[in-house]
Structure 1
């Protein structure tokens, strides 16, 4: 039998990338356990306190979720406390951990938590000390078993981060309804914008083989409050709706259900034709409406708690309602109508842009705002944090605060498409926090993006946040160990958008590596500066989209000859002899009109525009004086050089902690930082030399000069090995 070259390579890649899964309970340091790395508490005084509070465990309930809770405690507490945990049927002594709902436990019911429980909904939890039959006990309670699971993970986090639990009192509930991760995984197992191996979904062995990694995936997500996952690429293969793949999906849904995770799938809008055999996918055609309704009935018969559909339509070549002269609302509503009887939702992406648009910045707003109020109540518009495309820094999308009558959720990118793939350290928690804290002024001051997506500004029927995750078969899930931190940060912020990136980084470091201050102090600083460093050596002062097209890894600010202008770099930076930047004020594309006042007024003038966004909104003279007293050219050069120096500082800090963590992860990150430093220099030199051709100004004497000329850096665009290319 002859085997094609592609098939052979896929077989080789599969054999290399997939390793036997081991349980979290084993003492390994390759990153597989991520933040559920239950290392024994070394502080003896603290350890004794934990043992006194957690000498035995009483579980009330017999659901699959309660079984998951017992299994998690059996893994975590022996590893953390160094002793086997005794499970009993009732509280018999001091130091008992009682876990149950008022319905499952008469003792908890007697504690009169009714008022607090009424405030936390179906997923919130309480952790309180209480006297039970004369014994001082620690109680985790909630309205549902899923809430109890979140509470257990909340308690374990307290122990992992060495918090005092002798007087613990926690009341916690999620601020948004759907806390979702989006996979861009293809059915071939190649992952678009995935940099950590092949897709973890081994469709070829499903439904027969239930890979243990699927359970560990569910545990990691549940531990940070994730309650939904869209398992396939938004550039969707219609076969996902076929009987063959729905049978496979059932297995994943069954594994995820005890962890409180609902399954969603991305659908191809032409599925009624390609899967259903119809001659049209017109959303207003009765046969099409009937096909979607019957397909929804079939799915819910197989998966009663199915979440719904994620849709990318009429964007980047994906089919949609435009082919039938229908708008986005008409396109979404036929799907919503089919899902509505089952409680499902349609998540409709607002990532759209056309070659005819003068300014891609404007496209989503101009296309969707006129449709506000026309979407059904079970449609959620999924909006990227910025108006372009997950760039290292973007102003918030003006759609946030503009859709008063349309459920709107935030889409963030965890996978590092524009941040060096799995080769650069770039903690995204600071980016997420920046987006969530941006004030839209939609209903006066304080109408932040976080409040908008939580339904606190407008009365949304559904709320949510989505993170594009794209983990893979790499043993450490994400390729770079520190990409895990962005996954963790997304989950924590989706649960509570008011948390700070700094406190989340501190949690993650303690849970993933160690609680030693001599490690935490320097590396928390590294995490907090890492995203800004990435901005500085790529696209400072509001520059954007300077990447080589296709892979998005290296610099190519000179890109100009492509089929569409908005795929080029020159479209965005507009550098010329007079200056640089995209004029989006009233004298330019007037994209600023999409913002509420006073945001519009602030961005309209150079003097009041924050310098981080300066070139997003203004074409600025090279000699313009910046806040530092430098000219724009000098400040631009300074930022590029500062980014490189920040990476070098990150290297120094990492090297200083050698011996404080395991050698495997230390050496891995050390090598990756060396790669990052080389890449940062290449970015700096490429961009500075290119923009110098317009400014015609020298690089100030205090900076090291580029090793090569501009033509050399241009030659690297396609000649260098580019890891993990995009698979369309």
Structure 2
């Protein structure tokens, strides 16, 4: 009887384990771990030990040799996979390259790729030297623009208690080639540099090191004043310089491979060198000099804008371009992909290509601050692919993504939001990969439940849904170049009418849409703010001309009459209405596509995505009705008869008020949002 009870308990625990394995926590690393593969290596180290273990547990093929040796065709992180008479050999000049090669081989196995054929040799080198996640995590474990639970970093328990998720996090990042992490929010607390917290940072760095993940910290420029009561943070002051040198020495004594500092300065109220009459270059160089003996870097953010008569889209360029050539070699200026602020669609930032003598790095936003948080499907690889069409990887040596990771079981909130973390890593390694290819990889490794052998009835449709999802969001939120129509504070819902007493104009939607009786859009042409002049001549001419400006950027660069004739032959107003409606209809199609997937995915995952799609469909209608009913007051034109009628009254929509915490998403129910 006792034996039967133990057997029953064992079966229950086994069943529970299987169920837990389908909660999304394994991300794209779901291959069985019972392979017992034969693996040998010509050197030993903790990192090579990890590569050996990964292959032993998951590789189902021929024996593998891990070969650490120089290779003229390989960069430090690069690897070669080739067939030999004895099996397969993974070669790299550095041990982390062997780990990357291991994960690549296991990815090919999971995808059943033809690249594994015996006549193929694989050579991979990363496009960017630094491939970094930026966590906007606060020390109280809230996350600014986080929609997947609390921060992973439990500062209260560190350094003595280490969560299993710390290593799982490092493993997931290494599997897609990410090699750095900024642990804390760019709106940084000086406390992160205290002796107490540096011990906690050291504990995380020790966990991440074997996976090739270097730790970086966001620092507050006024830290010497806050932590040690210095009277100034002037970067040319000798005491300030000495303070940063001593603090940097303290950090490297604890963490020899510390990566460096990320700095947000003189932006949105953060302190910086301009407070003391110094330039961004002088501030960055002071920190760079402190880091130089240890080969550390400064990532200095170019996200700056201040109360000014200048077009906000121009301000980063106006402030940083004149400093070109003045930064130390170990300073990298970190520039958002667009000139305003991670909008669903922006032209690329004109700083790229205009600072010929300064190292730059692109900053993408993986978390969906402006794209429906974790309620909406918005696969972002197509957005980033647009950026790479204008800004080649060869112009930069580093890239950063603002993380969407939290304590939710599936890490990212929406199951499909995992795809953006994955896509960022894959594109940071190789920007030439297509959105289609990355979506194909992620779906096959992640979304289908175990035991499904034939995905052909649904795979193409799910991939199409992913590839079309970002454009759908653009359509039902802000088509044709509209931008920043979001509600005050949380950037979730629409509020094109937003008025806040005392708020700066560039914090309000009307600053950007400028709707009036004549038309809509921000005139950035040569007759307006002349932001077009910041672009290369060929693009400036294209964007400056109303007749040649691409319609996806039309209202970004021009204030356009409501009755302007579009390429379709319709008026601007009619075209705007049809884009909003197309976005709504597209989300309804996504619902139908997902409903067809029920037999192919885990039941909990199916219900979760189905529920979120209902929210997204309601939100899409909310956006469409709010924007069209509001703008109709100015156009005085009817909504075309053949598109779906509004179901809300503008007066009711203007009463909507959301209250959203740092790590909770709204329910999507309009009735619960009224004042």
Q: TM-score, normalised by structure 1?
A: 0.86
Question: Counterpart of 2:67?
Answer: 100
The answer on 1:152 being equivalent to 2:75 is no
Cα distance in 2 for partners of 1:179, 1:24 equals 34
The CA deviation at 1:721 is: 9.7
Tell me the CA shift for residue 437 of structure 1: 1.2
Find the aligned partners of 1:704 and 1:551 in 2 and give their Cα distance.
28
Quote the offset at 1:148 in angstroms: 0.1
User: 1:607 is matched with which residue: 543, 547, 560?
Assistant: 547
Supply the distance in 2 between the matched residues of 1:497 and 1:432 (Cα, whole angstroms): 9
Residues 579, 695 of structure 1: 8 Å contact kept: yes
2:234 aligned to which of 278, 282, 287: 282
- Give the equivalent residue in structure 2 for 1:358: 310
SS in 2 for 1:287: helix
Distance in 2 (alpha carbons) for counterparts of 1:40 and 1:252:
26
> Is this contact kept in 2: 1:644–1:677, CA < 8 A?
yes
| Corresponding residue of 2:117 | 166
- Counterparts of 1:42-441 in structure 2 under 5 Å? 56-77=38-59, 81=60, 95-102=62-69, 117-131=71-85, 136-164=86-114, 165-167=116-118, 168-438=120-390
Q: Give the 3 Å change call, closer, same or farther, for CA 704–569 of structure 1 in structure 2.
A: same
1:588 counterpart SS class:
coil
Compared with structure 1, are the counterparts of its residues 725 and 523 closer, same or farther at alpha carbon in structure 2 (3 Å cutoff)? Answer: closer
1:87-119 CA deviation, whole Å, 9 max, x = no partner? Answer: xxxxxxxx32111213xxxxxxxxxxx6xx212
SS at match of 1:306: coil
Partner residue of 1:18? Answer: none
Unaligned runs of 5+ in 2: 1-14, 449-453, 667-675
Moved more, 697-706 or 377-386: 697-706
Say yes or no: does 1:32 pair with 2:25: yes
Which whole-Å deviations, capped at 9, do the CAs of 1:582-618 have from their partners, x for residues lacking one? 0001100001110111000000001110000000000
**Counterpart Cα distance in 2 of 1:55 and 1:693:** 69
1:649 to 577, 589, 608: 589
Query: Residues 229 and 615 (structure 1 numbering): CA distance in 2 closer, same or farther, change over 3 Å?
Result: same
**1:262-307 per-position Cα deviation (integer Å, ceiling 9, x unaligned):** 0000000000111122111000001100110111111111100000
1:512 aligns with 2:446: yes
Deviation at 1:76, TM superposition (A): 2.6
How far residue 71 of structure 1 moved from its aligned partner, in angstroms, is 2.8
Cα distance between partner residues in 2 of 1:177 and 1:55: 31
Partners of 1:200 and 1:720 lie apart in 2 by 20
Tell me the equivalent position of 2:579. Answer: 639
SS at match of 1:615: helix
**Secondary structure of 2:474's partner?**
helix
Question: Measured at CA, do residues 201 and 23 of structure 1 come closer, stay the same or move farther in structure 2, by a change above 3 Å?
Answer: farther
Q: 2:471 aligns with which of 527, 532, 537?
A: 532
Q: Which residue of 2 aligns with 1:109?
A: none
Query: What residue number does 2:653 align with?
Result: 713
Q: In the alignment, is the contact (CA less than 8 A) between 1:437 and 1:450 conserved in 2?
A: no
Give the C-alpha shift of residue 499 in structure 1: 1.0
CA distance in structure 2 between the aligned counterparts of 1:545 and 1:671, rounded to whole angstroms: 27
Flag the 1:632–1:535 CA change in 2: closer, same or farther, 3 A: same
Q: Are the aligned partners of 1:76 and 1:156 in contact in 2 as well (CA < 8 Å)?
A: yes
**Which of 598, 607, 610 lines up with 1:670 in the alignment?**
610
CA–CA distance in structure 2, aligned partners of residues 276 and 711 of structure 1: 53
The answer to whether the Cα contact below 8 Å between 1:184 and 1:234 also exists between their aligned partners in 2 is yes
| 1:436 shift after superposition | 1.3
What's the offset of the Cα at 1:725?
7.3
SS in 1 for 2:157: coil
CA shift, 1:358, in A, is 2.4
Q: 2-side partners of 1:155 and 1:690: how far apart?
A: 54
Pairwise CA distance, 1:452 = 2.0
Contact 2:91 2:98 in 1 (8 A): yes
TM-score (norm 2): 0.93
1:557 to 477, 496, 499: 496
Q: Which runs of 5+ in 1 are unaligned?
A: 1-21, 42-50, 86-94, 103-113, 439-447, 454-462
Cα distance in 1, alignment partners of residues 426 and 79 from structure 2: 15
Distance change in 2, residues 1:721/1:62 (3 Å): closer
Q: How far apart, CA to CA, are the structure 2 residues paired with 1:24 and 1:424?
A: 29
What SS does the corresponding residue of 1:637 show, helix, strand or coil? helix
Please state whether the residue corresponding to 1:704 is helix, strand or coil: coil
The structure-2 alpha-carbon separation of the partners of 1:39 and 1:418, relative to structure 1 and needing over 3 Å to count, comes to farther
> Cα 1:381–1:721, aligned 2, differ >3 Å: closer, same or farther?
closer
Change (3 A) 1:39 1:714: farther
User: CA 1:412–1:183 in structure 2 vs 1: closer, same or farther (change >3 Å)?
Assistant: same
